[in-house]
Amino acid sequence: MSKNEELQNRISKIEGQIKGIQKMIDRGRNSLDIVQQIVAVNSALKKVGIEILKEETATCVNDKKKFETLLESLFRLK
């Protein structure tokens, strides 16, 4: 599977999560459950953003591992 296909799959999953949140709101689900799902979507989007940045900037940085660590720290995913 190509990197682009991987990213598209992740985005599709996020889209499904968002539709699920909409249904939760429509059905009057517990606010904490809804917020928990929103946090999960936010985290998933950050991870997609990091992957996109890694791909776009990897050629600009000599030490890819060091750069990945920096990006993860910036997005507080560790």
Q: What is the pTM of this model?
A: 0.73
- Report the pLDDT value the prediction gives residue 20, as an integer from 0 to 100: 98
Measured distance CA(77)–CA(73) in Å, rounded: 7
Nearest to 56 by CA among 45, 17, 48, 76: 48
Measured distance CA(45)–CA(7) in Å, rounded: 10
Tell me the pLDDT band of 78, cut-offs 50, 70 and 90. Answer: very low
What domains sit in the chain, N to C, each tagged with a CATH number? 3-74 (1.20.58.1000)
